[in-house]
Structure 1
Amino acid sequence: MVALAGQARAGVSAGAAVGSVRETSLVGGPAPYTFQPGARAVTGAATTSDARRLDAGATYRDSIRPGDRLTYRVDLDATSDAYVSAVAVPPATSEVAYGDRIKVSLQNRQGNDCSSNDARFGASARFPRPLAAYAYRTIEKGAYACQEAGPYFVVVERVSDDATTATPWDLEIRHVREPAVTAPGGPTTAPSVWPSASPVPAEEGPRARAGGAGFYDAEGLTRGEWTARIEPGASLFYRVPVDWGQQLFVSADLGSSPGTGFVSGALAMSLYNPARGLVGDSGSVSYDGRQKTTALDPLPPVAYENRFGSRSGAKEMRFAGWYYLRVSLNPEVGRTFGAKPYGLTLRVNVEGAAKSGPRYAGPAGDFAVDEGKRDEAAGGPGGAADSGTMALVAAAGIGTGTLLVLWLGAWTLLARRRAARMPAGR
């Protein structure tokens, strides 16, 4: 057992070293956006006749210049819903303006929009950071347009202000399908009211969670208080599992700093649903060196019928799964108060008991919460491996040698999983 205790100390030291490397890497500047490994290269066409097909379940990479209107093709059936998202990633050194936006539309063969959405920097936080928007085709009883099977076209547009840097923005494009519901007949009207009072804060103390650099490596969060260090110009990504019937509340605090000055639009926080559709943004935060806080507006509990509403944001709470947070710090904060990491605190509450969701005709995929997602959110990077390691420690009646071998194997697996999730240079 002496050897086991020594291994435990070595494991803790190794974990601390990983955290130290990550914190130290922040000093060299913010990490670049982490794209999905293995994403397929694709070139958007100028016309529908030349559009390349996007396969369901696949992720693609492209780039877009000011004024570009890129077209892609998707082949849809007549039963399932389809979602196509685009994440636009401006260079960290580029200039952006109020009118800059990325727009995604899904059109039928008549050139009519099935839906379209956009995301923009806005007046209060004009600094480069990843933006995401999606468009979709949904099968609805009584609807006529966009209900048939066949080819549809995805159009991604970059609308730019004259003051914008004319450099390309990278794109990460993703096409996912939501299975048909086998037993329709549930509510077809979205709720108009829902709880809006801030829930009681979690009693647990703050826990560290560094955050990822993209949707792919976003770190899981559960109910509680989470701390990180954020570099000026950086964007941190997190994800929270929210099941059917549950309601999500999130606030973000930017810690105080020595110095004097004033930065408008210092901190920007956005929430995205499992299909990477923009749910909403928090209020603008101006920074004068004193601690500041912002929060997302209260959103309805996750429900299938939310999609039938007309209220922006509320209708995006339409399925269970990972809900993504992107928190970005204005680079002007570094120029005014110093180029250093700043304290960030996220307070997350997931209220309500999980309920049964719709009966899908196939695997729910992204649109479900299972034990694996809950374990990952609770344990962070390699959460399931962390839980498994603790279970090994608690195991009784296992020989010391066997337990030691299992312990080493678990730590090796955990290290590999963390390395796989941590992009190079971070």
Structure 2
Amino acid sequence: MVEAVLIDLFSLPANSQSNIQGLLHNTLEAIEKRSSIHAPCVYVMCCQRQGSERKGEQEFLLPALRSFQSLNRKLEVVCAQTTAAALYTIKQRLDEKDLSIIKVILPTLRKHLMKVYIDHLFTAVYQFDFEDLQVVSDCEKLQISEHQNEGQTLPSQDVALIQSEIQMYLESLPSLKGELTILRSSLIPGDIFLHGFTTRTGGISYIPTLSSCNLFSSSKRRDPQVVVKENLRRLANVAGFNPEAFHRVKVDHANAVCIMGKTEPDNYDGIVTNQKGVTLAAPGADCIPVLFADPVRRACGAAHSGWKGTLLGVSMATVNAMVSEYGCNVKDILVVLGPSVGPCCYKLPHESAKEFHRIDPKCVRLFDSASPYIDIRRATRILLERGGILPENIQDDSVTDQNQNITFCTACHPDKFYSHFRDGTNFGTQIGFISIKD
């Protein structure tokens, strides 16, 4: 069932725009005649001419709106100077109402263009269906017709122009929820390494559970890759790294490690390098982003350690990769555990809790319950120490900076961090990042 209708009048010529009342009325009439189109919400995209006033966008459409309101539907007209701006505004309206199935009615010649915009601004969460809209110029009417021949795909230079338009628009948007904030550990020497852990502030993601500096996009969430890329650009600008030399682990909740410069595995939760200026990153939204630094051999690494990765020893696997690839001494390696779900909040089924109990009974609280509380940070520290990392070279929630804590509980601080445990499936993601300075 269609949840929303999008009418694209953006490309209508100036003479049609001036008589848009009649055009819109005819379009709405045509929608009502099509039994296949039923949706409570309708959005109309129009071009706002440069120099025109934004206020009163809907006033000149009142006759058409009144006729449509009698059909118990909601209609909103969105005027903007670019298609990217108009479509992104409509995306916000769809997300506010949690709508995902959209019928797009547009001129045939706009279809390929619109599909490129949609591919960039939306994810697989949304379903789009297209209907052709024909403008009959002699009587200034719009007709909805059957699908026309799809024809050829859009030329690459046109796709590049659309990408540039989207990027420029996103760069123009204000940051949400305050300034971009980075947490840093005093354990990692700042003269050799650039590092930090992000919080949720200072980006442009607007969906409540993703707002605002979400740094991960997937087909199951509503934040598209272009928005995450813009958040990363802003982070890189504040932190001082090159976003084009940025490598994030490909999460598999296991213990594979990628060695920068060698064949990249399909999936891996650890990554290491000794190359200067290359930024490594690990995500976390309850799972631990773990950073590794060897100031002697000048090598670094990052790992994503959830409960499965912790049990599989992903942190020591990353340490071992640094030792074998770069000749690091395990006693020189510094390890910092970033914001992650704490033992105050995190529960696992009893069968999984047994594995942590085997590492150390202190890793489990209320062990005899159906869902005991688990301390994946303590388990990570124990496994690292058993592997030869010096206790004083590990920073976690048991060892904090005098001026700033690093290993916050993500679930306990909704103003600072994302949390899958707290927010559900449409959750945002923060990262830990590290690089060797030039």
After TM superposition, the score normalised by the length of structure 2 is 0.23
Bigger Rg over Cα: 2
Higher relative contact order (CA 8 A, sep 6+): 1
After TM superposition, the score normalised by the length of structure 1 is 0.23
